[in-house]
Structure 1
């Protein structure tokens, strides 16, 4: 069972997300919140696997991500918002968000994203990923900088990072590379440390920026 928190100050939005997610028998909505304070408190009171947070709700969704990461580390915080500006996305990821989705995400994709986030996989709206890559290229934070960040990775770590960048799970990466899931998990931990990435989402963006997916 995947336990989900929906945090948005718009009641209609919360109801719509609930209606979509409750179509999946393995997802259960355990709490709703209208602001950042309520979202943080809900993650303390309930066991929450995935928290869907609006970035512009009262109290600031990014602040909620920071507090949830500090007090409820098992919870995967995913932004679900109408705002996809690069600075906003970057701030959310730096705060510890495990994903960033836009509110025009389709029902099937939203359910899939919740499942992936619960499994610890990176969740980024395609348009958000493209925007981050384009911005970094234009601002001098593009492929050259990204290439230097991955320069010290071993060949196997680069292969793992490349597949992680395509959104594959640990089990899928293990199958592709003929490794055990435990070995893949160890490689990902090493990759995050060596590239100074906070989570898999940042590593996935790095893989794309560095051209590993080309």
Structure 2
């Protein structure tokens, strides 16, 4: 079955260009291309959409607010596609349930791979976006523990895993640093997600750095 996609961008050139690009691939079905977040939300409420490709800065309703509503009210998975000047929106978008956050200067194949990854339940966050996320949270120093979180909720090993997620390390890199298997790392992440009711590792990073679930 094709991945059902909606595109929301107030720039008609980008919006229609992305529609054309996705339609050249056999595994995508572009159901609609709309000009703002409100139109995207309305469409997803009435139709079964797998992935919503959302710009951040749009009239009527921006991509962050659309992400929040889509995550709360529909089964559509929001994927943010934006530019370098949207730093202030990154944290909120991820907190509200964005499954991915990519820059528009990526090549089409990278964007298509991201849509596929999000559709299959994975989360996509470019390293450059993760770096900006840390800066926006005031993360300009290295540390092993965060005084903001309630450390009594977690085991010492869970805290060690969380601190490395906040630094942007992959499961493989965490496993190497802590001398444990990747499967064990995944188990610790699952435990942290269960204790916090978070959905993915990027939200864990935000929680570790800020102490806030939302």
State the TM bucket, normalised to the shorter chain: 0.7 to 0.9
User: Is the contact between residue 121 and residue 200 of structure 1 (CA under 8 Å) also seen in structure 2?
Assistant: no
**2:183 maps to what in 1?**
177
Question: Out of 164, 170, 178, which is 1:166 matched to?
Answer: 170
Deviations 1:59-81 (A, max 9, x none): 22111111111210x21101111
**1:112 maps to what in 2?**
113
Taking structure 2 as the reference length, what is the TM-score of the superposition?
Answer: 0.73
What is the correspondence of 1:1-214 to structure 2 with a 5 Å cutoff?
1-59=2-60, 60-72=62-74, 74-136=75-137, 138=139, 143-145=144-146, 152-153=154-155, 166=170, 177=183, 188-195=189-196, 197-203=198-204
User: Is the contact between residue 84 and residue 128 of structure 1 (CA under 8 Å) also seen in structure 2?
Assistant: no
The structure with the largest alpha-carbon Rg is 2
CA distance in 2 between counterparts of 1:122 and 1:55 reads 18
- Pair 31,140 (structure 1): closer, same or farther in 2 beyond 3 Å: same
CA distance in 2 between counterparts of 1:107 and 1:85 reads 20
- Pair 131,68 (structure 1): closer, same or farther in 2 beyond 3 Å: same
* Offset of residue 138 of structure 1: 3.8
RMSD of aligned Cα (Å): 3.6
| Larger displacement relative to structure 2 (85-94 or 144-153) | 144-153
User: Is the contact between residue 153 and residue 191 of structure 1 (CA under 8 Å) also seen in structure 2?
Assistant: no
* Offset of residue 194 of structure 1: 2.8
Gaps of 5+ in 2: 173-180, 210-214
Taking structure 1 as the reference length, what is the TM-score of the superposition?
Answer: 0.73
Deviations 1:37-63 (A, max 9, x none): 110011112211110111111122111
CA distance in 2 between counterparts of 1:22 and 1:146 reads 48
